[in-house]
Structure 1
Amino acid sequence: GLDRRSLCHRGGAASLVEAGPGFAGSSASHRAHRVVPAVARAAEEDDFFRPVRDALGSKEADLEERVKTLSDSEANLEERVKTLSDSEAQLEAQVKDLSDAKATL
């Protein structure tokens, strides 16, 4: 169990900190001394993962820009489809008119 350890939350990281046998009665400065290594480990982990987070953040921004570009392209294509559909309807009407005119000849 956690009888000799406590959970330390600092800077968004959680670390287990060893507690000595007299931990419950120890002074605040004594407890703070034990927390420092946990904070240092959390900072090291933060430094270790920072390049990965930065790269992922950059990749995320690139993907968001690509999604926006694709969304704009989709909107443009939908507009072209509507225009072509309208043109098709006009051509079908012209074909019908020509067929009707041919039938009356």
Structure 2
Amino acid sequence: MIRTLELLLEWREHNPYKWVFVSEYGKWLSPSKPRKWLRSTAEKAGLDPIPVHKLRHTHATLLYEAGASMEEIQRRLGHFDISTTQNTYTHLTKAQRDDFAERFSNHIDF
């Protein structure tokens, strides 16, 4: 997690426009390029391709699973309304459902 933060801070320094995908020269990149990269990578891995925007949902869900608060995720995604973050972008994972079931079972002493 610390290494990820270091990489993101370094990226921010070299990306004054705050674009997610840039060329090797730090310039604007055609929106079709990341889609092509993702499709190619998914095909090579034998996975179904997903839209690039779905990575935003994945990111929000993983933040939530890691213990980030809804407010932290809302700020990170730049949503004005927290309900957008909560109702659209974060999803319960199987690990979270299993953890909840285990904690509830322990609570009622099953």
**What interval of TM-score do these two structures reach, taking the shorter chain for normalisation?**
under 0.3
Structure showing the higher strand proportion among its residues: 1
Indicate the structure with greater helix content.
Answer: 1
Higher Rg:
1
Give the TM-score, by structure 2 length.
0.25
